[in-house]
Amino acid sequence: MYFCSLNFEILMSIVIRRASKEDCPRIMELIRELADYERSPEEVTVSLSHFEESGFGSNPVWWAFVAEIDGVIYGFALYYVRYSTWKEQRMYLEDFYTSPEKRRQGIGTLLFERLIAEAKEKNFSGMNWQALEWNELAFSFYRKYNAHFDPTWVNCSIEFKNLKI
């Protein structure tokens, strides 16, 4: 663990737990904060009802952990299962975020290590995620875990609303 410079009292007040459906409105607020931080606020188009159904409906496709201090959620980590024909089942970390006012207090470390524990419990072969190339704070954090940064793959996507077939 990487708690060397962190305040022990603050760490003891952080509760990491599985997200519940009731947490979805707050998680959506944090998702919007994340989009602002990543300079893409217009990209968040998911509705709260779709978000809730996707995580807590009859066929959930995502799972999450939240970080609370005194009953207020200040961070979250949302993942889904990815299958790799080369590497087996892996955790895909879709979003990982801590509110700016609570950064550098251990929330990210506790959330990330809870994700690692979850992936190991589920016998996933590893974890994948993306980070924006300019986000040096994120890269610095991930280096503590000996993360591999792969510069050879290019992200690709299609927006079906723009597709003419």
Question: Is residue 1 assigned to a domain?
Answer: no
- Which DSSP state fits 16? E
Question: Is residue 68 assigned to a domain?
Answer: yes
| pLDDT for position 129 | 95
* Domain at 120, CATH number: 3.40.630.30
- Which DSSP state fits 22? G
Question: Is residue 147 assigned to a domain?
Answer: yes
| pLDDT for position 118 | 97
pLDDT, one tens digit per residue, over 81-139 is: 999 999 999 999 999 999 999 998 999 999 999 999 999 999 999 999 999 999 999 99
Average pLDDT, the chain: 92
Contacts with 26 (C-beta within 8 Å, 6 or more apart), sequence order: 66, 73
Question: Is residue 98 assigned to a domain?
Answer: yes
Which tokens belong to 150? Answer: 């792969």
Marked catalytic residue, from 37, 92, 142, 145: 142
Question: Is residue 3 assigned to a domain?
Answer: no
| pLDDT for position 93 | 97
Residue 91's nearest CA partner among 77, 108, 106 is 77
Domain that holds residue 31: 8-162
CA distances for 3 relative to 10, 33, 65, 99, 148, angstroms: 11, 25, 20, 19, 22
pLDDT, one tens digit per residue, over 89-99 is: 999 999 999 99
pLDDT band of 1, cuts 50, 70, 90: very low
| pLDDT for position 6 | 52
142 part of the active site: yes
Q: Greater confidence, 59 or 12?
A: 59
pLDDT (mean) for 5-25: 82
pLDDT (mean) for 145-152: 92
What does the alpha-carbon distance between residue 52 and residue 95 come to, in Å, rounded to a whole number?
A: 16
Question: Is residue 2 assigned to a domain?
Answer: no
How many domains would you assign to the chain? 1
pLDDT (mean) for 59-76: 97
Reply yes or no on whether the pLDDT at 7 is more than 60.
no
Which tokens belong to 15? Answer: 């509760």
